[in-house]
Amino acid sequence: MQSAGIVLAVLFAVALVLMHRRDRHALRTERGKLFDACLALFEGHRVTQDAVAWPVLAGTYGGYEVHIAPLVDDVVFRKVPSLWLLVTVKRKLPIAGRVDMLARAQNTEFYSPADGLPVRIATPHEWPRQMTIKADRPAAELPFAALDPHVRAFFADPRAKEMLVTREGVRIVYQAHGADRSEYLVLRRAVFRDARLPAALVGSLLDQAVQVCAAVMKGGVHGQA
């Protein structure tokens, strides 16, 4: 009887291991489909995925080197988690420093460099009121004139979260998906069902970031036309 119990225990343990592996494989496969619908946008691309993490894309778009990374934000308790999309266009820009524009700041944006920037800049009257602007130098040394139409257009979308402009390029942050509300409220699990990135959305975000780069390039060192 004792040996039979041991055999059952071993079989149960093996079954649990197999189920765990199956679930991890299914999760990795499901998350790995995130970029499938938009790969044709790129002249070249490389998608990497560690274990069951969300995949990351590096590629070339319109001649620009780009990087797209999803990021799960489940820091705020009782708030349904978001799947943010960090879209970066890499380009050497003639900007004196770095400036970060963050919408609806809650002091929980761990992905944002805003807290490390020492200068708080007043939000221009025409820009969204719920915006925090931080930089590493005074406003007079930054290309706000060149950025103005692009900032207003991007943040007109309620899912737009952040725009960061530096000497190395432009990064924008956008809410791609919200977690399943019922599952999060009951089980506290951030589940994003059928998370896919439409080509139209990814193309629009990349175009906006490229246009910001072009505006800063045209504006010169201080962003003046």
Tokens of 188: 């506290």
Letter string b/e over residues 96-115, b meaning 16 or more CB atoms within 10 A of that residue's CB:
bebbbbbbebeeebebbbbe
Choose among 78, 67, 95, 76: nearest CA to 171. Answer: 67
With a pLDDT cut of 90, the percent of the chain lying above it is 61
Instruction: Judge whether 169 and 212 are in contact, CB under 8 Å.
Output: no
pTM, 2 dp: 0.82
Output the pLDDT for position 15.
58
Task: Please give the average pLDDT of every successive group of 10 residues along the chain, which has 225 residues.
Answer: 66 57 60 92 95 91 97 70 93 94 92 95 91 95 95 96 97 84 51 82 98 90 42
Letter string b/e over residues 3-17, b meaning 16 or more CB atoms within 10 A of that residue's CB:
eeeeeeeeeeeeeee
- Alpha-carbon span 78 to 188, nearest angstrom: 9
Output the pLDDT for position 107.
86
The SS3 of residue 199 is helix
Domain ranges of the chain: 32-219
The SS3 of residue 62 is coil
